[in-house]
Structures are given as C-alpha cells and as structure tokens.
C-alpha cells in the first residue's frame, strides 16, 4: 500500500458530495460486504465471470479526480458504509487490473495481507487489489471512491 496524497482543501466538498448522492444501490445477496450501498461512475462492472460492463453514472468531479490520480481509469465505485459496515477478506475480480487507487472518506482500518492500515479522512492510496484485503467494521459513516482499470480484453464498446 502506498499513500499518493490527501484531499485536504476540498475535503468538506467531498463529504457533502458523498452525503448527497442519490440512487445508491444495495449489493445483491453478497456475503462479502455488509451494511454497504454503492454507485458506479463511467462504467458499472457486474462481478460475474467474465465481468459484465454497463454504462455507469457521469459526474464531472469524479472524472476530474480520477484523471488526476489514476489516468486511464475505467470505472469508479463510490461505496458507503454505515456504522458496522465491513468487507470480509477477498481479492478483487481478476478482470480488473491489479492496481487500484482509492480515496478514503471518513475513518477506516483496511487490512492488506493481514497488515492493518488506519486510513485517514481524505487519504488517497493505491494497492494491489489481487492481494487479500479486508475492511474492519467501521464505527462511523465512511465512504470510499475507488478507481479501477479493466483489463483491455474485457472492455466492450
């Protein structure tokens, strides 16, 4: 895991933006994530094998931020965890490129390869998502905005 930087000056704007997102979806019967809703930007990736790709939401702020912190990104996932929300240990879908870039909004403890990282509000990180990782249950509202690339052979027009 590597920290790329911190959203600082616009952190309150980012919080407001997160709180005012509508149409957040529930993940259908997942035994991986709990107490979480989400929303896809640019492309929506449906986690079948192979990945199914649909068009996602558009937001110029997401586009601008993604282009800055992960040029060439294909999809962004905004995930909202209510208190108690968590993710059990998993590896991300193999049709995604392994590297992801994620903005942490709120407080969270992320385990990567069983090593705990206490993420700060606004912290921007990158890590290899094909390594097992896990999110401890959060104690207060927490969002992540995660940018991924899809392996070129799975992209559709």
Rank residues 92 and 97 by Cβ distance to Fe ion and give the closer one.
92
CA angle (55 as vertex; 49, 59 as ends), nearest 5 = 130
Shortest CB 8 distance to Fe ion, Å: 26
d(CA 22, CA 111): 29
Interaction residues for Fe ion, span 89-148 (CB under 5 A):
92
SS3 assignment for 115-132 = EEEEECCCEEEEEECCCC
Report whether 75 contacts 63 (CB < 8 A). no
Backbone angles phi, psi at 146, to 5 degrees: -115, 130
- Residue 133 pairs in a beta bridge with 90, 112
Closer residue to Fe ion, CB minimum distance, 24 or 47:
47
Distance, in Å, from the CA atom of 113 to the CA atom of 134, rounded to the nearest integer, reads 9
Closest approach, Cβ 155 to Fe ion, in A, equals 20
Shortest Å distance, C-beta 129 to Fe ion: 5
CB of 15 to Fe ion, least distance (A): 23
Residue whose CB is less far from Fe ion, 84 or 132: 132
Count interface residues toward Fe ion (CB under 5 A).
1
Shortest spacing between CB 134 and Fe ion, in angstroms: 9
Region near Fe ion per CB under 5 A, out of 8-16, 30-38, 86-94, 107-115: 86-94
62 or 148: CB nearest Fe ion: 148
Are the C-beta atoms of 22 and 142 separated by less than 8 Å? no
Where along the sequence are the contacts to Fe ion (CB under 5 A)?
92
């Amino acid at each position: 895991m590597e920290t790329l930087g911190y959203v600082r000056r616009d952190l309150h704007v980012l919080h407001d933006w997160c709180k005012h997102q509508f149409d957040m979806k529930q993940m259908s019967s997942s035994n991986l994530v709990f107490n979480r809703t989400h929303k896809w930007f640019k492309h929506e990736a449906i986690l079948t094998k192979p990945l199914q790709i649909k068009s996602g939401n558009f937001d110029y702020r997401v586009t601008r931020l993604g282009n800055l912190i992960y040029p060439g990104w294909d999809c962004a996932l905004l995930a909202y965890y209510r208190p108690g929300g968590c993710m059990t240990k998993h590896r991300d879908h193999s049709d995604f490129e392994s590297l992801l870039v994620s903005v942490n909004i709120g407080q969270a403890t992320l385990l990567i390869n069983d090593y705990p990282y206490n993420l700060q509000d606004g912290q921007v990180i990158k890590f290899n998502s094909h390594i097992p990782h896990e999110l401890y249950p959060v104690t207060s509202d927490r969002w992540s905005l995660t940018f991924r690339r899809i392996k070129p052979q799975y992209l559709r027009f």
